[in-house]
Structure formats: structure tokens, C-alpha cells
Structure 1
Amino acid sequence: MTSKPEEEHKANLIIDVGNTLTKLAVFNNNKQTHSEKVSRLSEQVIERLVTEHHIKKTIVSAVGEFPAYIAEFIAQHTPLLQFNHTTPLPIKNCYKTPNTLGPDRLAAAVGANTLHPNTNVLCIDSGTAITYDLVTADGQYLGGAISPGIEMRFKALNHFTAKLPLVSFNIPTLVVGNTTETSILSGVLNGVLGEVDRYIDSISAQYSPLNVVFTGGNSFFFDKKLKNSIFVHPNLVLFGLNRILNYNENI
């Protein structure tokens, strides 16, 4: 009788519950082997993934709604870790209000530290909001900054003015807009590039050398447009959650 490959017994299920979508990933020996997105997390989705990928343990991070019955269903099939501000971490959390810190920010910081250990690393997540999170070379998470995301800036100009239209996010754009639409594109997109470069410069002046890792749905926009060098990792939150799950198994 042929036994299953060893990696099948080490599969982790990573669940990141957002406000609109839930991201799921499977990691085998720290390598991502499967990912998908669903609008609603169901028992059927969980059962399929647990069965198909021989899941050993599961972690859930939720900024959106995570029903108790789903948690109970997962716990019936695999050991479940529900990530929150009390969960032990492989880095030191120095945030003064840890109970208010978004779990996605903290997970991304852990992921960035995993990619760039023993060095200062700034994680920038560009999604609904743009978040900046700093981990020092000695593994201390210090916090960072939060600013409006790109789509939020477009919507704000439309919502808080009488006549400015809602402009769709598209690239490239002009530096000097010659219509109202291209002027909005120039202001928002060039403005956000200037903001990000300025913030990176400020952190670099205090924590050098510094690695910068981008993640989030709009991370592609910043690639090769900033004067600062960056790395792009689209699944940094999932990557960080996988490390947190493994860390808690070994403590």
C-alpha cells in the first residue's frame, strides 16, 4: 500500500475574511499550492478544501463578518486558530493599542518580516486604504500610517463636490490633465505616488537600510513608478498568516 506524500500531512488552510471577499489559500511546507476567492464562506467550501488538500490545521483572520457556525464547522474538521491581538507572534508587537490594530496589517507585517528577516522592512498594503507598517531589524513591529486608497480618493472627489465626476482608475495618466477627468487622474495618481515616495524617504532616514514590500489589490500600480526600489508580493497577508499558524503550533 502506497502512503501519501509527506507534504499532504502538513497542509495549512489560510482564511482571510475581508469586508467584501474572503481569500483562501493552502500552504504545503510553507509553499502556497492553492488559492481562491469567494463572496460567501460556506461549509461546502471548507469541506471541499479540507478533503481535497488533506488539511492539518487552519487559521482565520477576519475584518469582515465571520459567523460562529462556520468557526464551529471548521473546528470539527481541523484544529482552528482564530487570529486576534492576543495571538502569540514571531515578532514583537509594540503597537500601543493592539486591540484596535487590524489583523490584516499585523499579518502583512509578519509576512514582510518573514521575507526580509534581520533587516528593517516597510510593508505597504494598497487596497481600500493604503497602510504602512514597519518592522525593525530586531523584529519589533512599531506601527505605521493609514491613508485613503486610490478608489477612495476618486470617490471622495465625486461625493464631496457638486460637479466633479466619478473617474475610473486607469493608467497611464498625464502629469498635466487637459480635461476634468484627466486632471482628476493626474491629481489622484501622481498625488499618491508622491505620498508613498515621501513616506518611504521619511522611514529610510530613520531606519536604514530599508526593504519595502508592496501588497494589496493596487500594488501593481506602484511597480516601476516610484523612485524608491520596492518588492511586490500580492499574497503577503496569507503568507504572514501561514507563518503565524506554524509559529503557534511550535510554542
Structure 2
Amino acid sequence: MSATKPILALNVGNTHTTLAVLRGKRMLWRSTVKTAQLLNQRNAKCLAKAWGEEISKCREQIQHIGVASVVPKATQTFLPWLEKNVRAESYIISASLKLPFEIRYRTPQTLGADRIAVAAFAAEHFPSQAVIVIDFGTAITYDILTSGAHYLGGLILAGAHTAAASLWQRAAQLPEFQLRKTSKLIGSSTVECLEAGLFWGKVAETEGLIAKLKVELKRKYRESKNFGGSNGWGCSGVCTHCCHNRPCRKRCCALWHSRNCRKKFYDDLSQPVFKG
């Protein structure tokens, strides 16, 4: 595949779908919509046509469409229309592809395309290092790579918005609220209690799991010297979040033990979630 020719990257998430034209490491165009819009044939057709017209303005012939999807129904409805409008063949990310790491997962056929994509990103950017990859979205996923580029598996947890929504939907007297960064650990109102519980709960959850994963990797897999960097234990993270009215994906790749990475993590985690 020529690096000079652009590809079209389609990321179909549970809440949002992003489409981007990429040439090498440069992004030429990008757009994001709610994934629910792709489930209707008429909407999918109109959206594919509109996106095709926008992409044509880049004056570039798309070579391939790379697809990472966790919503098969949306992909099945939308992808044929997209292929027709951009006149390009699509490649679906799956465990059957040639990847920059070896999968040691008991059920590789059930491994999500989103997890495969972030693991590939980590393997390419942190060669010969053990990596904990953390993706914050509708679900929070932890994916583990050894320094020998072996994918071990990880954890799947409820995302911040998912956890918040379950509270206000199931508890009759609790109000709707959003995730936001707060310095208060002890709330002095119901809303403050909810906000503090969600934010600091996720902070504690993430720090606690990283600490346990470090111990597990050191004890079971003897990963101690090359974990996220050469200066002792660290964590390389790939973080995503959804900003209010501007869904986006952010990648944070740095040592967990550096102050900047901790601040970046807290800032990413505290972005308001999209309610929808």
C-alpha cells in the first residue's frame, strides 16, 4: 500500500461514528455523527452521498477504506453506500488480519475492532515495551501488550457516561448529571455527591487497576524493565473521550508516572460526556 495515497478511516463506535481522510500521518478531512444515524437505510444513503461529495473536495482518489466497527448493524447498512460513493474497497479490522502483534486471546473472534486498533497503535509506537492501553468511551477497555508484542487480553468496564446514565435512569430521586472534573472529594449537595463520586470513582478505579496490572505483569510475565519506558514502571495509555457537541478521540501516550501524564489523564477524564 502506497503511503502517499490517502485512505479513508471509518470508526463506528457505540455512540459516535467518525470518518477521516488520512495521507500518511496527515489528516485531510474529518467528520463525526451519531452512530444511530447509520442504522436507517435512507439516512445512511444520504449521509454517504454527502460525505462522498465532501471527500471529493480533497481532490484525492481514496485507495482503501479501513473500517473499525463495534456496531455491525450500522456497518452493514452504511458501508455499501460509502463504498459506492467513494469508489473504494473496504477492509474490516479483525483478528484475522496481519497485525503488528501476536494475539494470545482465548476467543480472538470476539475481540473488538476498537481494541485491535488501539493495540496496533501501541505496538507501533512503543516497540519492545509492555503497554497498558486504556480507551475511555461508552465502555472503558484495558488492553495489555507484553514487550514481546504479545496481546494478552485485558478488562472491559462501564464508561463514565454509561455509569452515570444507569444511576439517573434507575434511581427515581437522583437527577441527571454530567462527568466533570472536581477538586471536592466530599460533595455538599446531591449533584456534587454524584459528580464527585463519578469523577473520583473513575480516577481511583483507573489508578487501582493500573497498579494491579503492573504487579500482575511483573509477577506472571516478568515485565519489569521495559514497561512503558526505561526508567522503571510506567504506563502508555491510549485515551478517548467525547466532548460536548464535539465528539473526538484523543490519544495520550506518555509515562503514567510523569506529572504531565497524570494531569492529562485527569483533564481527559473530566471532559463533559455527550448526553444522547
TM-score bracket for the superposition, by shorter chain length: 0.7 to 0.9
3-state SS of the aligned residue for 1:16?
strand
Contact in 1 for aligned 2:21/2:29 (Cα 8 Å): yes
For 1:24-103, list aligned pairs within 5 A: 24-39=19-34, 40=38, 41-46=47-52, 48-49=54-55, 52=58, 53-64=60-71, 65-67=74-76, 70-71=79-80, 74=83, 77-103=87-113
- 1:45 maps to a residue whose letter is W
**TM-score by structure 2 length?**
0.71
For 1:64-143, list aligned pairs within 5 A: 64=71, 65-67=74-76, 70-71=79-80, 74=83, 77-143=87-153
Contact in 2 for aligned 1:150/1:192 (Cα 8 Å): yes
Q: Could you tell me how far apart the structure 2 residues matched to 1:69 and 1:195 are? A: 36
For 1:1-251, list aligned pairs within 5 A: 9-39=4-34, 40=38, 41-46=47-52, 48-49=54-55, 52=58, 53-64=60-71, 65-67=74-76, 70-71=79-80, 74=83, 77-205=87-215, 206=217, 207-208=223-224, 209-210=227-228, 211-217=235-241, 228-229=257-258, 230=261
After superposition, give the CA deviation of every residue in 1:8-62 in whole Å (9 maximum; x if it has no partner): x421111112234221122212333332213445134135425623222221122
Change (3 A) 1:117 1:32: farther
Q: Could you tell me how far apart the structure 1 residues matched to 2:78 and 2:32 are? A: 20
Contact in 2 for aligned 1:119/1:136 (Cα 8 Å): yes
- 1:95 maps to a residue whose letter is Y
Kindly state the Cα deviation for residue 78 of structure 1 after the two structures are TM-superposed.
2.1
Which runs of no fewer than 5 residues in structure 2 stay unpaired?
Answer: 39-46, 218-222, 229-234, 244-248, 266-276
Kindly state the Cα deviation for residue 69 of structure 1 after the two structures are TM-superposed.
6.7
Change (3 A) 1:111 1:96: same
Q: Could you tell me how far apart the structure 2 residues matched to 1:90 and 1:121 are? A: 14
Kindly state the Cα deviation for residue 191 of structure 1 after the two structures are TM-superposed.
1.0
**TM-score by structure 1 length?**
0.77
- 2:159 maps to a residue whose letter is G
Q: Comparing 124-133 with 92-101, which one deviates more in the overlay?
A: 92-101
Change (3 A) 1:31 1:91: farther
Kindly state the Cα deviation for residue 71 of structure 1 after the two structures are TM-superposed.
2.9
Which runs of no fewer than 5 residues in structure 1 stay unpaired?
Answer: 1-5, 234-251
